[in-house]
């Protein structure tokens, strides 16, 4: 018998070696594998993330369902800091909107970056497989927290690589309003007994497609009214 799926995914991430698709049967089983995978890492969970909350992202990976995953302390990279891309298999970066959680609700908002890294070959997966792989979560960068502007549902989003704009979007692309991604995430995670805790980071899902991340570049997300989040890949 082969290793359990969580172990296969854990070893793939640790060994930086892509694996063949697992072809897991269902979504409930997949969320169980995700929980086991994150438990195996022994990393502290510090938040959650939504995936595929925009058309651009759904189209890029060919999966048309909203998904959620867990963020851990080991994935956190300081704003303006460096990230070693040698840790990953074939990383991509995308602009995000982050919420800070308090009393089960949104307290603050920040511009953010997410680095995703599918553990599957060629970034190809089914819905259950990407859920099991903790929704490709790899690293995240949070910019300065600020008060929620009333028009958080209609802010311009840019992704820059070395000062060049490579993706353009709007927070409106995130389920029509990123606050809706929060509501959806609370409902979906609640089914698995997970409730956002005080101080948790919540990523609403990228408004644009993700782009490959290479060593040596400087990446910046710009969200209108919120400011920027940046990282240097080394
Ligand atoms: C899945 C993760 C999606 C987002 O913001 O939509 C995601 C993937 O694209 O590999 O993080
Ligand atoms: Mg994302």
| Tens-digit pLDDT profile for residues 191-233 | 999 999 999 999 999 999 999 999 999 999 999 999 999 999 9
Tell me how many domains the chain contains: 1
pLDDT at 38: 98
Judge residue 136's burial from the number of C-beta atoms within 10 Å of its C-beta, 0-12 exposed, 13-18 middle, 19 or more buried: buried
DSSP-based helix, strand, coil % in the chain, nearest 5: 30, 35, 35
Between the CA of 203 and the centroid of ligand 2 the distance, in Å, is 7
Residues of the chain with pLDDT under 70: 1
Boundaries of domain holding 41: 5-233
160 within 8 A of 222, measured Cβ to Cβ: yes
* Ligand 1 atom 10: residue of nearest CA: 136
Between the CA of 49 and the centroid of ligand 2 the distance, in Å, is 7
pTM, two decimal places = 0.97
pLDDT at 2: 83
C-alpha dist (Å) from residue 200 to 89, 215, 232: 27, 29, 24
Query: Residue 177's domain is classified under what CATH number?
Result: 3.90.850.10
Instruction: Give the position, in ligand 1's atom list, of the atom nearest the Cα of 118.
Output: 10
Between the CA of 118 and the centroid of ligand 2 the distance, in Å, is 12
Place of tokens 């690589």: 161
């Amino acid at each position: 018998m082969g290793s359990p799926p969580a172990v296969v995914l854990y070893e793939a991430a640790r060994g930086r070696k892509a694996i063949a698709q697992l072809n897991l049967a269902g979504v409930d089983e997949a969320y169980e594998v995700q929980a086991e995978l994150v438990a195996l890492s022994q990393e502290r969970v510090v938040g959650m993330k939504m995936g595929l909350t925009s058309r651009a992202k759904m189209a890029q990976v060919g999966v048309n369902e909203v998904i959620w995953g867990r963020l851990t302390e080991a994935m956190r990279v300081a704003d303006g800091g460096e990230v070693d891309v040698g840790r990953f298999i074939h990383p991509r970066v995308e602009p995000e909107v982050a919420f800070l959680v308090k009393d089960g609700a949104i307290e603050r908002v920040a511009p953010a970056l997410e680095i995703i890294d599918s553990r599957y070959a060629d970034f190809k997966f089914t819905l259950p497989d990407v859920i099991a792989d903790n929704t490709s979560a790899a690293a995240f960068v949070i910019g300065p927290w600020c008060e929620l502007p009333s028009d958080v549902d209609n802010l311009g989003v840019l992704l820059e690589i070395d000062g060049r704009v490579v993706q353009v979007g709007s927070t409106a692309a995130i389920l029509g309003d990123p606050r809706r991604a929060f509501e959806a995430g609370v409902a979906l995670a609640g089914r698995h007994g997970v409730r956002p805790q005080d101080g948790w980071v919540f990523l609403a899902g990228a408004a644009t497609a993700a782009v490959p991340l290479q060593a040596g570049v400087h990446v910046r997300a710009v969200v209108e009214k919120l400011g920027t989040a940046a990282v240097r890949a080394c």
